Amino acid sequence: MKVLKNNKEIVAFCKVLRERASGSSPEIEPRVKAILDDVRKNGDRAVFNYTKAFDFQDVKRLRIMPHEISRYARKADKNGVKALEFSASRIQAFHERQKEESWSFSEKDSLLGQVIRPLERVGVYVPGGKASYPSTVLMNVIPAQVAGVKEIALCVPAPKGEINPYVMAAIKMLEVREVYCVGGAQAIGAMAYGTETVKKVDKIVGPGNIYVATAKKMVFGEVDIDMIAGPSEILIIADDSADPAFVAADLLGQAEHDELASSLLITSSKRLADAVDKEIRRQLAALKRKEIAGKSIKNYGAILLTKDLKDAVELSNLIAPEHLEIMTEEPMNVLPMIKNAGAIFLGKWTPETLGDYSAGPNHTLPTGGTARFSSPLGVYDFIKRSSLLWFTKNGFMKLAKTVKTIASIEGLEAHQKTITVREGL
């Protein structure tokens, strides 16, 4: 694993990470645009064609009916289903606390407030390429249900016709009844524009490969999206008290996602850096996905040596990681200094994997430095807010002069007229 000691090396490496996470590709964008245009124009026929071409599946219909979901779900191991049920209960409990309520307050002759309503229809994308993710079903569907979304359409690809029973078990558990066997940019297009089979949604959420991410970026404005999710990443701030085996395991846990995943350790301890480097090599050799994890560690993994803990925190805030683990002797003392992170994991007994599956907080997090300005997926992503205003004539008159003055400053005569036409009554 690369060990970077001076600022020049660290700055250069951070630039590489930013470029990797940009999510743009001059080669891919025209292909995705062509797919989206085709789906918008030709609907189901285009989706069928791309499903056959990319997933090697000649489907006759897009929708997986509820009885088929149940049939596939029965193939899932009972222990696996119990684990999903346990995780779902924790995710539900966490997200229930994010609910927002409508509010208002009265002044003399006026009432002001905010009305909270759920989105009416949401599309959820669940990846199904290199791996299948029932946890993604839980993390994207549950907050939408807690928010009160009535219609949830879920798209999941089935390469070569293979449908994952645990994904189906999660879908059945949450009673999602509108499920489509379609993936890639064509799934995003179907949900964004609507087809003969798939009704248009208001918002699309869920992770995917670069084609999916690019498609979501292109349909934004036609519909809302959660975020442009880039490759996954972890950053660990650790001092000399950290266990090298724990640190190495957590770095590799992220690296096995895919070759573009980023795993970083920032520490001021040369002893820890050397020990973690050795542990990485030892643990990597035993991994089933060692080829993927190895490429990730080689290209986007690094140990960054800083002068002290303060410098480590400053560097972490600059990177703004998706997952931040703090493995220091007193992690709670470090927490107030953290400004930018998607999720923060405190102490050696809180590996990032807990957050992936069963802890409760959402695992759909901002990547590529966007934790500087965005947040984890939550109930608040599935609601809309309307401002509420009501004035009596007396309340209107109290504001009339001020409003006319500002309208005059802005040169908007018709705005002034809306006031003057009422003042004489």
* pLDDT band, residue 248 (cuts 50/70/90): very high
HEC per residue, the chain: CEEECCHHHHHHHHHHHHHHCCCCCCCHHHHHHHHHHHHHHHCHHHHHHHHHHHHCCCCCCCEECHHHHHHHHCCCCHHHHHHHHHHHHHHHHHHHCCCCCCEEEEECCEEEEEEEEECCEEEEECCCCCCCCHHHHHHHHHHHHHHCCCEEEEECCCHHHCCCHHHHHHHHHCCCCEEECCCHHHHHHHHHHCCCCCCCCCEEECCCCHHHHHHHHHHECCEEECCCCCCCEEEEEECCCCCHHHHHHHHHHHHCCCCCCEEEEEECCHHHHHHHHHHHHHHHCCCCCHHHHHHHHHHHEEEEECCCHHHHHHHHHHHCCCEEEEECCCHHHHHHHCCCCCEEEECCCCCHHHHHHCCCCCCCCCCCCHHHCCCCCCHHHHEEEEEEEEECHHHHHHHHHHHHHHHHHCCCHHHHHHHHHHHCC
In angstroms, the CA 362 to CA 235 distance is 18
* pLDDT band, residue 24 (cuts 50/70/90): low
In angstroms, the CA 113 to CA 331 distance is 40
Average pLDDT estimate for 124-145: 91
* pLDDT band, residue 130 (cuts 50/70/90): low
Average pLDDT estimate for 178-204: 97
Which residues is 237 bridged to in the sheet? 266, 326
User: Residue ranges of the domains in the chain?
Assistant: 2-21+231-360, 28-110+123-225, 392-423
Of 190, 247, 245, 239, whose CA–CA distance to 215 is shortest?
190
- Quick count: other Cβ atoms within 10 Å of Cβ 25? 14
**Residue 11: predicted pLDDT:** 80
pLDDT in tens, 334-371: 999 999 999 999 999 999 999 999 999 999 999 999 99
Q: What is the pTM of this model?
A: 0.93
Same fold for the domain at 2-21+231-360 and the one at 392-423? no
Query: Directed axis angle between helix 44-55 and helix 28-42, to 10°?
Result: 140
Catalytic position from the list 95, 257, 323, 363: 323
Catalytic position from the list 178, 233, 256, 322: 322
Of 5 and 85, the structure prediction assigns the larger pLDDT to 85
**Residue 120: predicted pLDDT:** 98
The answer to which of 48-57, 81-90, 176-185 has the lowest mean pLDDT is 48-57
Architecture of domain 2-21+231-360: 3-Layer(aba) Sandwich (3.40)
Mean pLDDT for all residues in the chain: 94
Architecture of domain 28-110+123-225: 3-Layer(aba) Sandwich (3.40)
67 is catalytic: no
415 is catalytic: no
Structure tokens at 169: 């078990």
Q: Please, what CATH class does the domain formed by 392-423 belong to?
A: mainly alpha
